[in-house]
Amino acid sequence: MFVSSYKTKYFIYGFIAAVSFLFIQCREDNEDIKTPVTENVIVVVIDGPRFSETWGDSAGSLMPFMKDSMLASGVLLANFFNDGATETTAGHTAMLTGYYQTINNSGQELPDHPSVFQYFLKHNNLDSTSAWVITSKDKLEVLTDCKDSAWQHQFRPARDCGISGLGSGNREDSLTLTRALDIFDTYHPNLTLIHFKEPDVSAHAGDWQAYVRGIRDGDRWAFAVWKFIQNDPVYANRTTLFVTHDHGRHVDGISNGFVSHGDSCPGCRHISLFAYGPEFDQDRIIIDRYSQIDLPVTIASLLGFTMEGTDGKKIEDLYK
């Protein structure tokens, strides 16, 4: 009798312990699924290539790093579009504010609406160096502020734009990459835009070979950022990278073809979005259609806040 109750007692204790353990495990598993792990987002914009020379290139790859190394780690949205004005400032404004706006393209006008940078800094009550706008073209300094009187001159990200860093003259993309990696090392910002001016500038000069070289260089810059994320102890496994474009260029037969952009032809509208991050799937190409204004909504969701008023939607297809 004594032996039997002794065994029964320990059997019950054991049973309770096992059930508790399973319960705790299940809770931890569920919490792992629900808790986003992205703490940092980096958006790389390669200015103005056509889809036909990037992911849509069937003749030969101008993007060996993205196609052969990076795609296996992330997701490609092959049907991503600029549905507004297909100019540099307008494209950037759409993907940072969630609004298609007809905006002056020379750096003479601020976006109407606050950017994802301003929302992020306000939401987390952080100082400007937690978010950076780093651009080869000086005019893109306008992306650091907006016209909305409730937001203007407030919650502005730090900036490093053009040759002076403060917006006077464009600079080389190699220097922009160096500056970006220095800023990552020094500040480890939570939210960063890096803009490279090529291949757009060479295309406007009508130089096909330089345009092609600009796409190859953009591929290398994107790869350098992707490698930096993986090798950096603060960024590794906690950082999402997007690589995209502000607009494409005219298809052959429209105006002067690859040289220019700015209308609603398929070449100007069709861009792409590559996404790599802890919440996202890997080695997948998605053909569902998305639009530039969906990007800030997705970034906001990853970083734990919401953008108001925009018609953009979270890009659910990216997720595991």
Binding of residue 214 to Zn ion (CB under 5 A)? no
Q: Which is nearer to Zn ion, 53 or 246 (CB)?
A: 246
- Min dist CB 183 to Zn ion, Å, is 22
Q: Which is nearer to Zn ion, 114 or 199 (CB)?
A: 199
Q: Which of 200, 217, 219, 294 binds Zn ion (CB under 5 A)?
A: 200
CB of 219 to Zn ion, least distance (A): 17
Candidates 252, 263, 288, 311; binder of Zn ion (CB under 5 A) is 263
Nearer to Zn ion, 40 or 136 (CB): 136
| Residue 100 or 151 with smaller CB distance to Zn ion | 100
- 136 scored as a contact of Zn ion (CB under 5 A): no
Exposed, middle or buried by CB within 10 Å (0-12, 13-18, 19+), for 281? middle
* Nearest distance, CB of residue 269 and Zn ion, angstroms: 8
Contact call for residue 47 and Zn ion (CB under 5 A): yes
What does each C-alpha distance from 202 to 66, 213, 258 come to in angstroms? 21, 9, 10
Residue 252 is a binding residue for Zn ion (CB under 5 A): no
Structure tokens at 45: 């914009």
From CA 116, how far away is CA 239, in angstroms rounded? 16
Mark 78-107 with x for binding to Zn ion (rule: CB under 5 A) and - for no binding. ----------x-------------------
Closest contact distance (angstroms) between CB of 87 and Zn ion is: 7
198 binds Zn ion (CB under 5 A): no
Q: Does 246 bind Zn ion (CB under 5 A)?
A: yes
Regarding 265 and contact with Zn ion (CB under 5 A), the answer is yes
Could you give the string, one character per residue 267-286, with x where binding to Zn ion holds by CB under 5 A and - elsewhere?
-x------------------
Taking the complex as a whole, how short is the minimal distance between the CB of residue 70 and Zn ion, in angstroms?
22
CA distance 107 to 259: 21
DSSP the chain: -HHHHHHHHHHHHHHHHHHHHHHHHHHHHHHHHHS----EEEEEEE----GGGTTT--SS-S-HHIIIIIGGGSEEEEEEE--S--SHHHHHHHHHHS------TTS-S--SS--HHHHHHHHHT--GGGEEEEESSGGGGGGG--S-TTTTTSSPPEEEETTTBBSSS---HHHHHHHHHHHHHHH--SEEEEEE-TTHHHHHTT-HHHHHHHHHHHHHHHHHHHHHHHH-TTTTTTEEEEEE-S---PPTTSTTGGG---SSSHHHHEEEEEEESTTB-SSEEE-S-EETTHHHHHHHHHHT---SS------GGGB-
Whole-number minimum distance, CB 214 to Zn ion, in Å? 12
Which stretch in 93-101, 174-182, 197-205, 270-278 sits in contact with Zn ion by CB under 5 A? 197-205
Q: How far is the CB of 237 from Zn ion (least distance, A)?
A: 32
Tell me the window of 162-170, 196-204, 219-227, 312-320 that interacts with Zn ion (CB under 5 A). Answer: 196-204
111 binds Zn ion (CB under 5 A): no
What span, in angstroms and rounded, lies between the C-alpha atoms of 120 and 41? 11
- Nearer to Zn ion among residue 160 and residue 246 (C-beta): 246
Residue span binding Zn ion (CB under 5 A) among the ranges 13-21, 63-71, 124-132, 245-253: 245-253
Binding-site ranges for Zn ion (CB under 5 A) = 47-48, 88, 200, 246, 250, 263, 265, 268
